[in-house]
């Protein structure tokens, strides 16, 4: 059943295959699986901050009215990939907020696969990527809506911020919708820091590095906004912003 991915697999198209070779096969092809009972909530956060290549894969099945609230910060200093697959029962909700941030010559990526198998379920993914050096940040977000999954409400939003010329960001939304009464919103943009905002801050006395820090924190905020546990939110922010200290 399991096989090692190749560059021809759509969901692996931006992966770092040299790095991938060093990851144990079981980790690349296996899943850790969680079933969430009807009405229950699964709250999880991930911090990928390793110095060796890493792949983590989580497969979640949500019962009726259950919720998965998953937040992740990928600040790894080697190739790191987090994959999450969620299958939703009626009225279930999947929330994902992810931050990809860092420099070096490193690929950091998130992959989500949201399977709206039943009616009236909702899902929302918000990913922010900030990269410099020759790093790249990737988000592959697939949404499948089954034929009878009417009243599905799915949203996906990716924004990339490139601090230096050599950095890149790739977003690959993929929607397969077979029901007709659904809402599916998605957006993807990639840009640079707003120079005028930086100048405005400087004109009020804020030093350039502090201004940059404030603007990047504001940029990342949407990804962690749905995380209600404020202490946990702050912990994830701290991980993300600590990475920034190494930025040029």
Residue 12 Cβ vs another protein, minimum distance, rounded to whole Å:
33
Tokens representing residue 164 in the block: 């230096």
Rounded to a whole number of angstroms, the minimum distance from the CB of residue 206 to another protein is 5
Q: d(Cα 243, Cα 225) in Å, to the nearest integer? A: 19
**Shorter beta-carbon distance to another protein: residue 35 or 197:** 197
For 209, the enclosing helix (H) or strand (E) is helix 208-224
Q: Is 200 helix (H, G, I), strand (E, B) or coil?
A: helix
Query: With respect to another protein, which residue has the nearer C-beta, 178 or 200?
Result: 200
Smallest distance from the beta carbon of 200 to another protein, in angstroms?
4
Smallest distance from another protein to CB 234, Å:
15
With helix as H, strand as E and coil as C, how does 211-247 read?
A: HHHHHHHHHHHHHHCCCCCHHHHHHHHHHHHHHHCCC
How far apart are CB 203 and another protein at their closest, in Å? Answer: 5
Q: With helix as H, strand as E and coil as C, how does 126-156 read?
A: EEEEEECCCCEEEEEEEEEECCCCCCCEEEE
Say if residues 43 and 36 touch (Cβ distance below 8 Å). Answer: no
- Least distance in angstroms from the C-beta of 161 to another protein: 12
Q: What is the distance between the terminal CA atoms of the chain, rounded to a whole angstrom?
A: 45
Closest to another protein by CB, 17 or 199:
199
Report the interface residues with another protein, using CB under 8 A: 194-197, 199-208, 210, 214-215, 217-219, 221-222
Gap between the Cα atoms of 109 and 81, Å rounded: 5
Q: Which is nearer to another protein, 41 or 218 (CB)?
A: 218
Nearest residue (CB) to another protein, 197 versus 242: 197
Q: Rank residues 17 and 200 by Cβ distance to another protein and give the closer one.
A: 200
| Separation between Cα atoms, residue 98 and residue 114, nearest integer Å | 15
């Amino acid at each position: 059943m399991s096989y090692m991915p190749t560059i021809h697999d759509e969901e692996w198209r931006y992966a770092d295959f040299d790095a991938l070779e060093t990851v144990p096969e079981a980790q690349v092809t296996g899943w850790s699986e969680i079933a969430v009972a009807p009405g229950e909530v699964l709250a999880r956060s991930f911090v990928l901050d390793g110095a060796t290549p890493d792949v983590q894969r989580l497969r979640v099945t949500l019962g009726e009215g259950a919720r998965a609230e998953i937040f992740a910060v990928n600040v790894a200093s080697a190739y790191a990939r987090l994959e999450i697959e969620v299958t939703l029962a009626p009225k279930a909700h999947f929330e994902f907020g992810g931050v990809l941030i860092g420099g070096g010559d490193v690929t950091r990526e998130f992959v989500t696969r949201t399977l709206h198998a039943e009616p009236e379920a909702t899902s929302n993914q918000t990913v922010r990527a900030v990269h410099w050096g020759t790093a790249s940040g990737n988000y592959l977000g697939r949404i499948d809506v089954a034929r009878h999954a009417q009243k599905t409400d799915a949203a996906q939003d990716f924004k990339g911020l490139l601090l230096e010329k050599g950095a890149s960001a790739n977003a690959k939304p993929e929607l397969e919708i077979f029901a007709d009464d659904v809402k599916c919103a998605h957006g993807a943009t990639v840009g640079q820091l707003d120079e005028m905002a930086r100048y405005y801050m400087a004109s009020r006395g804020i030093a350039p590095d502090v201004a940059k820090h404030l603007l990047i924190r504001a940029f990342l905020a949407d990804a962690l906004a749905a995380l209600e546990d404020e202490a946990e939110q702050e912990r994830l922010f701290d991980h993300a912003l600590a990475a920034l200290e190494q930025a040029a």
